Structure 1
Amino acid sequence: MKNSKIYYPLFLALAVALGIFIGSMLNFPQNNSGFLFNSSSQEAKIKRLINYIQYDYVDKVDTDSLLDGTIRNILDKLDPHSVYIPASEHDAIAETMNGEFVGVGIRFFMNGDSLTVSNVVKDGPSDRAGIEAGDRILIADNDTLYGKQLENDYIIKTLKGEENTKVKVKVYRKYKDTLLNFTLKRATIPLESVPSYYMLTDTLGYIKIDKFANTTYDEFKTALNALQKKNMKRLVLDLRGNPGGYLGIANQIIDEFLEKDKLIVFTKNKGGKIDKSFATAKGDFEKGQVYVLIDESSASASEIVAGALQDNDKGVIVGRRSFGKGLVQQEMELGDGSAVRLTVSRYYTPTGRSIQKPYNSESGASYYNDRLERYNNGELTNGDSIKVIDSLKFVTPKGKSVYGGGGIVPDVFVSIDTTAYFGRFHFRAIQDFVFEYVDNHREVTKNWQVNDFRQNFDNDGEILREYLSLFDDQSKLAAESIPYIKLYLKALFARNLYDENVFYQVMNENDEMLKKVKELEMKIDYIKP
């Protein structure tokens, strides 16, 4: 098997940065000074020091880099969510949160030394021109893109540009062994934040939200309306792995579930000013039952949604304790394309609880990566191991106890499936294998119909055996990993051949939280008329 390295789409490639940079944000008025420091004497001191270093220091120093590091060090002394965004990263992060970018509409990776199209965005410039998954882009506007060790940033810069500008590309289509020329007209490409929605049963719908960007509410409403037309009475809202985003967008989504004048969330700043957000009368799912799925990676705006519904006795929160981010950031520009996201207030759920987990200036990476600690103390496998603080106990209008102090504790706990981790070790290797398989069988696989694929994929186990044959010593493969390897094979074939919606439908076929939801559906105590 070739040792090709798969690169995720732009929005996935930025996921780690998003987990650190994005948070709940409000439209606060900008500080009139526009400077990082309020005192003119402090500003002068910093500027003077930089000038001394730039002109008088014995060695040549990159003062821009030095200043960037200084700003980071200052923010590190505050809280884990006050962060510096360099000018080089600002536009990419902004695009992700805007929910769109201007480009040619492909997702790609480097296969060996060739820029290879993994997926084509439906109805985008490349799709309309006739580019297909598997095409190798060799040249773009006379710039050779093969036979080089190219960085992702360079490729993205080459293919992106101003809207309505054109780029000429030459591609090699492997399964036809032919060279083709295309002229692509750059256009606005959506970055979906609602990658999947479908009906789980005749009356139970499913919507997955993976971030709260500018376009998320509109995407959510499209999904909600489509499922209601299919007779959806109850909804599973999947917020697992969702790091958050815009607070205002989360509020709009919550408003679809809560009756008029129900408190959604409130914030409090340093001066004690409180801003409250209330539901309006426009909600389209106020009478419907909702299950919210959360896990240890659900953060910020995801926790606002779960907390607002839980505190208003709306629906059932299913899963594991969420991340625990209760701080609100405002983005402030620094004048050179860079910016800081500064924590300016705390948010509180309707009962008055803060769900911010403890932190200090020494927390560092452990603040973001406490999954191992949660596993070691047993809370990922046993709900009774979740520690709650009695002094932070709050009571909902219907008498349910809820707790502050670090994340949203679910109403119904679902353990991680420890055996699944054996299979997850194969995920990257399976991605490589699936692409190579599809790439070598495109004339066959392009004719696979979705329904037939869902029902009959690899029923004889031939593809599974081909993958397992890549391992010299199969005795080292954990027996419990095989069902998950089969699942990942099918899901990644779905992603390569179809789209994210089919990918999630496959991944959810044996999902433990969805199994729990279906159990709850059978219990009258959780069914709301």
Structure 2
Amino acid sequence: MTKRNLNYPIFLGIAVAIGIFIGSNLNFKNKSLLFNNNSNEAKIKRLINYIQYDYVDEVDTDSLLDDAITNMLVKLDPHSVYIPKEELQSITESMQGTFVGIGVSFIIQNDSVAVASVIKDGPSEKAGLQAGDRIIIAGNDTLFGESIIKKAGITKEHKGTYYANRLISDAVMKSLKGQPETEVDIEVFRRKTNQILDFKITRGDVSIKSVPGYYLINSNLGYINVERFARTTYDEFKEALDELISKGMSSLVLDLRGNPGGFMDIANSIIDEFLEDGKLIVFTKNKSGEINKSYATKKGDFENGNVYVLIDGNSASASEIVAGALQDNDKGTIVGRRSFGKGLVQQEMDLGDGSAVRLTTSRYYTPTGRSIQKPYDHNNSNKYQTEYLERIQNGELVSKDSIKVNDTLKYVTPKGKIVYGGGGIIPDVFVPLESINSFRENLYGGLNEFIFKYVDNNREKMNKWELTDFVNNFDSNDEVLNLYIDELDLNYPLAPETRKNLKKYFNAIMARNIFDETGYYMITQKEDPMILKVLELESKGD
């Protein structure tokens, strides 16, 4: 019998004990009661002590307890999860929209740390770091060559692999991040002047963009991408919205494709910009039947504008609140494919040791009263996670008629449009999945490295480009693209369609490297099926 099997009864016993404890206490309004010295808490402590001091083998009780909590929460619903203390900080930073660091993005190149970009208004920009600088020392840590390999714990067989670069990146982040207002001495090599330079940088809050790009597609149609609903998202969105309105935007593409959700109140604030005062946005219902309604509260800046919301199978939670609120209020047009189908609301609860549990505390409903939560089986969590495969097999990614709807969950909007609950938001205008959609995930090897190296070697020339000019005219004769293709040393010619798509993503990644995500979107979306569908709808006045 393996050691894993020996531990199974212990694992099961802890899971049951914790289940009894949490199940008997979670209904209390006063969360401090969870930590009172009652019989269930004493039972758990006693069991852990028995394992720790009396069990025949050495057992990592912390790990055992983490596994027990994780497996217990799986039995509740797919979105109640345990967050170990090792992961909580990065998750919190992402959702708060900031982290404490020096404010650079970097890539690992030949076991060295190359600054890809310096975050605007961040500590490094203020100190004078530049894109292209190589960070060689941070504090007491040497960050190049064998020293960084050793620090990252890379073995010989992993050297030079993607996995190795991830380990190096994690090691570098530990050296650069720290407590607010602490100083770190940075030593860099600046290639363009062939100098070693010293900087003393005070760590501070660095923004993590959740609205990475926005621009005018044409004179009146604007575009804003929202990647998630973090604490800073509304402010980022409002800045983008105001700028585009000032440039003459009267219609907006709000891109929520791949957006997994986030804070409900932030989503509500964004919806408020589109809906008239008093319109219902969303309501929630908890275990006791208590209903909490959210309404549009003020004059929104885009109440009279036309809005197109782009969604797909990875648009979830708060993204679906936005799409559902606008659809149910007959505002704008939902374009794309059926969304994920998450209608449960979680509350993060601290477990006292740096870890947390994100527990489902209520369900949310769109203004017409529909729940868009897709079905789940408490005893078969795997089926819930693989439901996307069923959508593929059913053909719904290429045909709206293949989307299964439940006529008992039919609802009607104020203007008479029929909408459905029970498994995501079905778009008003369906756009099938394009057959070449996977191209960008299968780019030829070394593309990012080639582009960084090219920009780094030609930085003065590349910095002279203006964004719009770059999007329309860069590498018009394919000179730079051919350098990359030559470096691939292929023994066969590229098919015309393959070369066309390679050219698109080559230029897009180049634009991202020089400018930001906006440049990437402006190039890739020239032939984006959903954007083309919006342009078609606009031309028809729909």
Same fold? TM cut 0.5: yes
Matches of 1:306 and 1:158, distance apart in 2: 41
Alpha carbon RMSD of aligned pairs, Å? 2.2
Within a 5 Å distance, the mapping from 1:159-198 to structure 2 comes to 159-198=176-215
Specify which structure has the higher proportion of helix: 2
Distance in 2 (CA, whole Å) between partners of 1:230 and 1:78 is: 49
Q: Which runs of 5+ in 1 are unaligned?
A: 1-27
Do the aligned residues in 2 keep the contact of 1:50 with 1:63 (CA within 8 Å)? yes
- Aligned to 1:469, the other structure's residue is in SS state helix
Deviation at 1:256, TM superposition (A): 1.0
Matched, 1:42 2:59: no
Between 1:309-318 and 1:45-54, the stretch displaced more is 45-54
Q: How many residues in Structure 1 have an aligned counterpart in Structure 2?
A: 498
The match for 2:9 is none
User: Residue 142 of structure 1 corresponds to which residue in structure 2?
Assistant: 140
SS of 1:350's equivalent in the other structure is coil
Match for 1:334 among 351, 364, 373? 351
Asked whether the 8 Å contact 2:123–2:202 carries over to 1, the reply is yes
Match of 1:320 in 2: 337
- Deviation of 1:326 after TM superposition, in Å, equals 0.4
Q: Report the Cα distance in structure 2 between the residues aligned to 1:248 and 1:345, rounded to whole angstroms.
A: 15
Deviations 1:295-353 (A, max 9, x none): 11110000000000001110000001011100000111101111100001111111111
What is the SS of the residue equivalent to 2:117? strand
Match of 1:82 among 80, 84, 91: 80
Cα distance change of structure 1 residues 370 and 177 upon mapping to structure 2, 3 Å threshold: farther
TM-score, structure 1 as length reference: 0.89
SS in 2 for 1:78: coil
Aligned to 2:112: 114
What amino acid sits opposite 1:52 in the alignment? Y
Distance 1:374 1:464, change over 3 A: farther
Letter of the aligned partner of 1:92 in structure 2? S
35 and 58 in structure 1: CA distance in 2 versus 1, 3 angstrom threshold: farther
Q: Structure with the greater relative contact order (CA < 8 A, sep ≥ 6): 1 or 2?
A: 1
Deviation string, structure 1 residues 3-22 (Cα, Å, up to 9, x no partner): xxxxxxxxxxxxxxxxxxxx
Matches within 5 A, 1:378-397: 378-397=395-414
User: 2: distance between equivalents of 1:60 and 1:73?
Assistant: 22
> Unpaired segments of 5 or more residues in structure 2?
1-25, 153-166
SS of match in other structure, 2:363: strand
2:420 matches 1:403: yes
Structure 1 contact 194–207 (Cα < 8 Å) conserved: yes
Instruction: Say which of 491, 509, 525 aligns to 2:508.
Output: 491
Other-structure match for 2:103: 105
Supply the distance in 1 between the matched residues of 2:455 and 2:329 (Cα, whole angstroms).
48
The answer (yes or no) to whether the contact 1:102–1:163 under 8 Å persists in 2 is yes
Equivalent residue for 1:292?
309
Q: Residues 332 and 500 (structure 1 numbering): CA distance in 2 closer, same or farther, change over 3 Å?
A: same
Amino acid at match of 2:110: G
State whether structure 2 residue 197 is matched by structure 1 residue 199.
no
Letter of the 1:166 counterpart: E
Corresponding position: 1:505 with 2:522: yes
Distance 1:178 1:99, change over 3 A: same
Deviations 1:349-398 (A, max 9, x none): 11111111122235445534544432232111112211111111111111
- Output the TM-score relative to the length of structure 2: 0.87
- d(CA) in 1 for partners of 2:122 and 2:496? 43
- Alignment identity in percent? 58
Q: CA deviation at 1:244?
A: 0.3
Deviations 1:5-42 (A, max 9, x none): xxxxxxxxxxxxxxxxxxxxxxx999424476999333
* SS of aligned partner of 2:376: coil
Amino acid at match of 1:155: V
In structure 1, distance between residues paired with 2:504 and 2:76: 43
Give, as a single letter, the amino acid of the residue that structure 2 aligns with 1:314.
Answer: K
Q: Is this contact kept in 2: 1:104–1:186, CA < 8 A? A: yes
One-letter amino acid matched to 1:78: L
Contact preservation (8 Å) 1:423, 1:482: no
* Aligned amino acid, residue 83 of structure 2: I
Tell me the CA shift for residue 470 of structure 1: 3.7
Q: Quick check: which has more Rg, 1 or 2?
A: 2
- Aligned to 2:492, what secondary structure does the other structure show? helix
